[in-house]
């Protein structure tokens, strides 16, 4: 049977669900008695298992099934979310992520899960302490309290339908009706030519659960997953939607032949309406069912009722490849607009000018729109870090807390994809080098729990990300000694320059190499990655108080405004993001210190960089020369250029493999006249 059409949906939803599980487990470890969180974990784990079984990924389904057994022990109160148990569950999640990656890459290999399953079985066995094994975890609480057939009262049977409702089901439906929900019995007939019944059932359940809650289904979940049913599904469903809307939603699913929606008859011989339910509530004492899941379910229904109704199809999913093509087309439009503007200025055509101005406005709007479409919140990167700090806390035996601020700050998708690795290095560095052990913190008069802060915010056309810790800070003398030992001269450097030496290739102050740090590659990777993204990274540290790493990144990478300059006979582009100002060059203003050229600018010493010498370009005969003052992080410098050619929007094109090693450039652009111009990497010069 072909499941390829569902594969992309399965992979995307699996990764989302695994991330949800990671966050929920972290919270459950902190709040072991949080029943709502426990129910959420159980529900998500069950969804993953169902999807995996439907798609035929038995290893995933088997592992998740065993996880459900342990989660069932939590729900039954026989097991507490201790660090040891949660660590095993985290290992399971890591393995499931690896399985999803393997499936995504189209690989055939299978990961061994026997050891993990054995660990989960041991946890369940210890929880039971010799009792019978846990019931099938796919069975929800409502099935676990289902009374025996002989004990059912007539009120507990749905005479109008083929679904028997127990006391728990009835109680949930009654409470939902009292809150204004509709309760329906739904009969669905799937086409007999359907090749993959379980996948079709999965889509039916998925579509319905977007609009309400499925109380019961026949056949049950296990039978649906294993395709152990004919072509009919019977459901009891509560929702705000009416009959016709539900019918339309279901009939829109391909291979669904017939749908019958009726009001659910939960009392023999009578249909319960909202009004009748209210009357019954005043005259009857409702049965109390002491099951936490009932509370959780009715709470969820109540929340849905209180939330404002959202319109369907507020957003659509688009493949990233299409989005990239869209951006490339807009980029070409920007290049052609520049060419038209150039032609218009040369020939001075008034009518053409007016049209070009209109095209320019439309192009700018389109450009802004495509940039906004590509923007993603940093939350998609930040949400994996609480788990990272938790694991490091256990591994290093340090009490640490991660505080995240500004995770809704948005960046271009390209930046989002690349920023994760540098941040992981910085956080691991803060945990290992920064935060001290409990004993050392006590001696220093600090709280036993070390605090690591991850802060993001927008500053003009840049995004700023800070990684702060309240640890030991950077020991300047230690860094200096290590630098001298490595053959790096520190003459003429101030303390801040010495601290920034930690970004040098192969530099590490750790004497012992561990799995976490000490190889001298982490900070080098951070610097290289951030520079490749057109950003900067600096460190501010005070010994005994902690360190702050400050990353500044452009909000977008593809289309930027740049200043075009001439150096020798070559045209070059400098991003306006770096430029502070442009001043006239006067030979008499140049001073020398430590054999380096500087000028006094706004009361500060400004180093001068002669671009033509750095790039091996000749000088022009023109007398006027300019200094472009640029800021890179905390540093300021002046770039000497021969002439200015104005500013314009340019499209950054990556350099090919042949020129990829040139660190002086971040890419190239095509100007309106068709000439290719290189874009300077200002950070490399400063």
Which active-site residues does the annotation give?
46, 68, 429
- Say how far apart CA 374 and CA 410 lie, in whole Å: 9
The 8-class DSSP code of residue 430 comes to I
Closest CA to 323 of 408, 410, 413: 413
Residue 683, H or E segment: helix 682-685
Q: How do beta strands 232-239 and 212-218 pair?
A: antiparallel
Angle at alpha carbon of residue 364, lines to 362 and 368, rounded to 5°: 120
Q: DSSP letter string over 431-482?
A: IIIISPPHHHHHHTT--SSEEEEEEEEEETTEEEEEEEE-S----HHHHHHH
**HEC letters along 173-210:** HHHHHHCCCEEEEEEEEECCCCCCHHHHHHHHHHHHHC
CB atoms within 10 A of CB 483: 19
Contact 562, 647 (CB under 8 A): yes
Whole-number Cα distances in Å, 103 to 40, 78, 165, 375:
26, 35, 39, 28
DSSP state letters, 113-127? -HHHHHHHHHHHHHH
DSSP string, 618-637: PPPS-S--EEEEEEETTEEE
**Token pair of 176 as six digits:** 């939902």
Pairing of strands 591-593, 450-459: unpaired
Q: Which tokens in the block code for residue 112?
A: 């061994």
Contacts of 639 (CB under 8 A, 6+ apart): 574, 609, 611, 627, 628, 630, 680, 682, 685
CA–CA separation, 96 vs 15, rounded Å?
Answer: 9
Structure tokens at 50: 């169902």
Q: What whole-number distance in Å separates Cα of residue 16 and Cα of residue 18? A: 6
At 448, list the tokens: 């036993």
């Amino acid at each position: 049977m072909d499941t390829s059409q569902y594969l992309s949906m399965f992979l995307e939803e699996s990764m989302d669900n695994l991330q949800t599980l990671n966050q929920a487990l972290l919270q459950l470890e902190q709040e072991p008695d949080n029943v709502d969180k426990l129910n959420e974990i159980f529900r998500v784990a069950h969804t993953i298992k169902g999807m995996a079984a439907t798609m035929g990924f038995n290893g995933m389904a088997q592992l998740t099934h065993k996880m459900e057994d342990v989660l069932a022990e939590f729900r039954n109160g026989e097991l507490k979310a201790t660090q040891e148990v949660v660590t095993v569950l985290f290992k399971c999640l890591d393995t499931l992520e690896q399985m999803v990656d393997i499936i995504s890459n189209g690989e055939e290999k299978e990961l061994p899960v026997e050891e993990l399953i054995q660990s989960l079985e041991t946890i369940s066995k210890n929880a039971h302490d010799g009792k019978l094994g846990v019931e099938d975890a796919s069975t929800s609480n409502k099935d676990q309290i289902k009374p025996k057939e002989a004990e059912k009262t007539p009120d507990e049977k749905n005479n109008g339908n083929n679904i028997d409702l127990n006391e728990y089901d009835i109680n949930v439906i009654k409470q939902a009706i009292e809150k204004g929900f509709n309760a329906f019995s739904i009969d669905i007939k799937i086409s007999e030519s359907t090749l993959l019944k379980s996948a079709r059932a999965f889509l039916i359940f998925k579509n319905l659960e977007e609009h309400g809650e499925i109380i019961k289904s026949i056949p049950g979940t296990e039978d649906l997953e294993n395709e152990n049913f004919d072509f009919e599904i019977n459901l009891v469903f509560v929702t705000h939607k009416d009959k016709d809307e539900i019918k339309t939603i279901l009939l829109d699913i391909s291979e669904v032949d017939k749908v019958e929606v009726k009001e659910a008859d939960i009392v023999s011989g009578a249909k319960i309406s909202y009004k009748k339910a209210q009357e019954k509530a005043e005259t009857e004492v409702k049965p109390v069912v002491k099951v936490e899941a009932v509370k959780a379910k009715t709470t969820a229904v109540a929340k849905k009722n209180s939330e404002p109704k959202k319109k369907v199809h507020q957003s659509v999913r688009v493949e990233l490849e299409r989005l990239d093509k869209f951006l490339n087309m807009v980029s070409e439009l920007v290049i052609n607009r520049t060419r038209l503007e150039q032609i218009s200025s040369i020939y001075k055509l008034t009518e053409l000018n007016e049209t070009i101005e209109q095209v320019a406005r439309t192009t700018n709007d389109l450009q802004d729109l495509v940039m906004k479409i590509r923007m993603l919140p940093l939350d998609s990167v930040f949400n994996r870090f609480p788990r990272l700090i938790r694991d490091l806390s256990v591994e290093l035996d340090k009490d640490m807390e991660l505080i995240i601020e500004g995770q809704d700050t948005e960046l271009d998708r390209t930046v989002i994809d690349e920023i994760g690795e540098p941040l992981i290095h910085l956080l691991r560095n803060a945990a290992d080098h920064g935060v001290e052990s409990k004993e050392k913190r006590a001696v220093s008069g600090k709280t036993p729990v070390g605090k690591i802060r991850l802060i993001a915010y927008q500053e003009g056309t840049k995004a700023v990300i800070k990684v702060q810790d309240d640890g030991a800070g950077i020991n300047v003398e230690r860094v200096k000694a290590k630098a001298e030992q490595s053959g790096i001269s520190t003459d003429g450097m101030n303390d801040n320059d010495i601290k920034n030496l930690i970004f040098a290739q192969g530099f590490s102050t750790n004497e012992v190499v561990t799995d976490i740090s000490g190889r001298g590659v982490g900070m080098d990777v951070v610097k290289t990655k951030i520079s490749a993204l057109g950003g900067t990274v600096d460190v501010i540290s005070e010994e005994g108080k902690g360190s702050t790493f400050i990353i500044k990144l452009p909000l977008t990478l593809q289309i930027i405004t740049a200043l075009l300059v001439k150096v020798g006979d070559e045209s070059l582009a400098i991003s306006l993001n770096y430029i502070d100002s442009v001043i006239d060059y006067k030979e008499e203003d140049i001073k020398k210190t430590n054999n380096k050229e500087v000028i006094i600018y706004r009361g500060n010493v400004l180093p001068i960089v002669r671009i033509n010498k750095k790039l091996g370009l000749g000088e022009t005969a023109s007398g006027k020369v300019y200094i472009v003052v640029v800021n890179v992080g905390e540093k300021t410098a002046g770039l000497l250029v021969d002439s200015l050619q104005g500013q314009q929007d340019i499209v950054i094109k990556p350099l090919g493999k042949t020129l990829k090693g040139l660190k002086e450039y971040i890419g190239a652009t095509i100007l309106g006249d068709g000439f290719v111009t290189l874009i300077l990497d200002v950070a490399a010069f400063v």
